[in-house]
Amino acid sequence: MGTSWAALAWYFGPSAALLEALVLFFLLWVLSVIDIETGLLPNVLTFPGIALGLAFSWWLGDWQDGLIGAVAGYGIFWLVARVFLLATGREGMGYGDFKLLAMLGAFMGWQALPFIIFASSLVGAVAGSVFLMLSKRGFRAEIPYGPYLALAGMAWFVWGGDILLWYMGITGVAW
């Protein structure tokens, strides 16, 4: 966490964006460690994280995007989990993941959600498959998804603009 904070300080310099980055990265690091160790993303961190994300969105002038991001982040994962439950009869995602994506949406707005969902799913599928093949628990073992969401959120927070420009460049989409 210290290394990431030093890199953020170098990247953003003394600014409101640095303060936001330090708070967000602190929450994401702590939530990731807890999720890896316990399989839980506790409300005691996710709910205040959502509130802090909305507060930063309001302070930095993007409160509507943050509010839409929080609602959409929770709603998208709720819908996916509901469809999975109806299709398979078992739960495939914990409610902590809903709240973590809502927190990321609150901090960065709804525009960040497609990348965060795609990148975390891709990395999670690859890393999770390797983990399941190497483990003795079989392919039905639970794998914490929070760290993958956190990693994708960190990447978007720092390089979101660059990622968007790169994507538009390779697809030929004009801004």
Query: 128-150, pLDDT tens digit by residue?
Result: 888 888 777 666 678 899 999 99
Residues 102, 71: contact at Cβ < 8 Å? yes
Of 84-88, 120-124, 166-170, the one with minimum mean pLDDT is: 166-170
- Mean pLDDT to the nearest integer, 73-85: 95
pTM of the model: 0.91
Pairwise pLDDT comparison (168 vs 121), residue with the higher score: 121
Burial class (CB in 10 A: 0-12, 13-18, 19+), 22: middle
> What value does the mean pLDDT of the chain take?
92
pLDDT at 101 over 90: yes
pLDDT of residue 133: 80
pLDDT of residue 23: 98
Burial letters 141-165, b for 16+ CB under 10 A, else e: eebbbbbbbbbbbbbbbbebeeebe
- DSSP secondary structure string for all residues of 41-90: --HHHHHHHHHHHHHHHHHTT-HHHHHHHHHHHHHHHHHHHHHHHHHHSS
pLDDT at 63 over 70: yes
pLDDT at 171 over 90: no
Of the candidates 146, 157, 175, 131, the residue with the CA atom closest to the CA atom of residue 60: 157
Residues 99, 50: contact at Cβ < 8 Å? yes
Q: How confident is the model at residue 69 (pLDDT cuts 50, 70, 90)?
A: very high
d(CA 84, CA 2): 38
pLDDT of residue 68: 97
Q: How confident is the model at residue 48 (pLDDT cuts 50, 70, 90)?
A: very high
